[in-house]
């Protein structure tokens, strides 16, 4: 009990000021960021094998890395590095028996194993106030509300983190969020029925599953207990459906961006201009194809440093996501810089027979220009052949949509590229419950390798 009270006090200490921090001057936020960078570099040098060995080999001393720009002096850590030897990134200063072990779904390759120390998890809960303050305004109560969380059937990291904080901290019953956990693998009809019984104030799910729920409601004419707010993450929610939910249904929609390696990279605000980077906690830069920093507005690979977690330490880590940084400030008044909604993953880049590469955002432009398309998924079935699956509005004409998509493919990619079009009720999901917009031959090869028998995880 004493330890639980201590962790709750630690949470309260870090909670103070989080609601207002995103609005503070950028210079102040950057100073906070630099202090965290200097502390983490000293810590990594002393305690983490990978950084001690790599920095010694390259002749880099921790005092040479003092700010976000200096972090680029470190080699970029690839996902394959973490998959191959997760122990190399684990601090010798932590007791792993007290940490939370999270494993990724492996939907983009072999699973990744990451440990989070208790202090980082309670900090993570406190940092969530940055987006939670908007949700609280929408639902009208700061504590004791009801939340339905629809999680992946494999390695549900949201549930693991939430339950760790709840079990190790002491919070009065009146402050506790009452949560209902449902599965992404279950059909929306089943989960709608369970939502109606629980009557949540907040619904939290993958963006694609939110789309499934609303498509089901509209197509089947079902009634449901509409939540006061919706929070989504992990994959895409279409602009069309978000406008329908916020406009026609009057339900505010919020989003967060994170992963098992870095829990709270960014969050969306009321302006829907993109995602605000938690730069004081997780500095991000965008790399172009040559490894240089991309210009604002230019899509590239997301590279992030986790300045919070001291169990598995990851600095200058390539996530595999594609996004761009905005040069324009957000009208909401927050000083935290904006990043675009991630537009895909590196393994979703399509390579055509002539060697040219197609960014996944090109398929969004091709598919979503047709009226009546609610969701799309493009699968590369051969180097120059694609299958396009569409979820459409009830009033849409399948024949017209199919003809329009095939013609846009021809115009955009040339006569040598073919596209077959199928109207479906539901898009294909990964084992983790996600619905990737683009499935390249490269990704299919990676997934096949990941599903092949492997030796037991030594961790």
CATH 3.40.50.12780 is held by the domain 2-342: yes
d(CA 224, CA 197) in angstroms, rounded, equals: 9
Residue pair 150/240 in contact (Cβ under 8 Å)? The answer is no
- pLDDT (tens digit, 9 = 90+) per residue, 114-146? 999 999 999 999 999 999 999 999 999 988 899
CATH fold label, 351-451:
GMP Synthetase; Chain A, domain 3 (3.30.300)
- pLDDT (tens digit, 9 = 90+) per residue, 401-450? 898 999 988 888 888 889 999 999 888 876 656 677 888 887 666 554 44
- Specify the pTM: 0.79
pLDDT class of 371 with cuts at 50, 70, 90: confident
- pLDDT (tens digit, 9 = 90+) per residue, 276-307? 999 999 999 999 888 899 999 888 999 999 99
- pLDDT (tens digit, 9 = 90+) per residue, 227-272? 999 999 877 788 888 999 999 999 999 999 999 999 999 999 999 9
Q: Which of these, 130, 204, 122, lies nearest to 170 by C-alpha position?
A: 122
Residue pair 311/91 in contact (Cβ under 8 Å)? The answer is yes
Which tokens hold the place of 299?
């899509």
Q: Is pLDDT of 56 > 80?
A: yes
Residue pair 432/107 in contact (Cβ under 8 Å)? The answer is yes
Residue ranges per structural domain of the chain: 2-342, 351-451
What is the number of alpha carbons within 13 Å of residue 54 lying toward its C-beta?
19
Q: Is pLDDT of 36 > 80?
A: yes
d(CA 264, CA 272) in angstroms, rounded, equals: 18
Q: Which of these, 342, 302, 337, lies nearest to 319 by C-alpha position?
A: 302
């Amino acid at each position: 009990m004493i330890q639980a009270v201590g962790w709750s006090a630690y949470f309260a200490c870090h909670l103070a000021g989080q609601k207002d921090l995103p609005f503070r001057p950028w210079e102040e936020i950057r100073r906070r960021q630099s202090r965290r960078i200097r502390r983490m570099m000293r810590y990594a040098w002393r305690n983490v094998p990978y950084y001690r060995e790599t920095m010694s080999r390259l002749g880099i001393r921790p005092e040479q890395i003092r700010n976000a720009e200096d972090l680029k002096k470190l080699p970029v850590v690839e996902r394959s590095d973490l998959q191959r030897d997760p122990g190399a990134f684990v601090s010798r200063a932590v007791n792993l028996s007290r940490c939370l072990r999270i494993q990724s779904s492996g939907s983009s390759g072999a699973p990744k194993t990451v440990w989070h120390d208790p202090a980082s998890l309670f900090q993570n809960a406190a940092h969530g106030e940055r987006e939670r303050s908007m949700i609280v305004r929408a639902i009208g109560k700061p504590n004791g509300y009801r939340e339905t969380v629809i999680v992946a059937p494999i390695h549900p990291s949201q549930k693991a983190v939430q339950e760790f904080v709840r079990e190790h901290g002491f919070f009065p019953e009146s402050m506790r969020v009452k949560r209902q956990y449902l599965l992404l693998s279950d059909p929306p009809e089943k989960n709608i029925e369970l939502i109606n019984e629980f009557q949540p104030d907040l619904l939290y799910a993958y963006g694609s599953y939110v789309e499934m729920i609303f498509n089901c409601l509209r197509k089947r004419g079902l009634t449901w207990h509409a939540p006061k707010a919706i929070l989504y993450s992990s994959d895409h929610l279409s602009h069309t459906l978000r406008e329908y939910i916020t406009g026609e249904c009057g339900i505010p929609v919020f989003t967060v961006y994170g992963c098992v390696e870095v829990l709270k990279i960014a969050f969306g605000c009321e302006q829907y201009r993109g995602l605000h980077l938690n730069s004081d906690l997780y500095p991000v830069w965008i790399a172009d194809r040559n490894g240089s920093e991309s210009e604002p507005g230019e899509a590239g690979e997301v590279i992030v440093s986790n300045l919070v977690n001291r169990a598995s330490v990851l600095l200058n880590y390539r996530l595999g996501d594609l996004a761009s940084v905005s040069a324009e400030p957000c009208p909401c008044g927050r000083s935290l810089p904006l990043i675009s909604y991630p537009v895909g993953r590196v393994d979703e880049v399509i390579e055509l027979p002539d060697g040219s590469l197609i960014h996944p955002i090109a398929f969004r432009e091709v598919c979503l220009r047709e009226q009546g398309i609610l969701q799309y998924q493009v699968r590369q079935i051969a180097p120059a052949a694609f299958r396009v699956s569409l979820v459409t509005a009830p009033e849409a004409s399948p024949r017209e949509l199919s003809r329009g998509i095939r013609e846009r493919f021809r115009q955009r990619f040339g006569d040598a590229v073919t596209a077959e079009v199928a109207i479906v009720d539901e898009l294909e999901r990964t084992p983790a419950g996600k619905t990737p917009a683009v499935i390249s031959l490269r990704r299919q090869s990676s997934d096949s390798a990941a599903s092949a028998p492997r030796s037991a995880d030594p961790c």
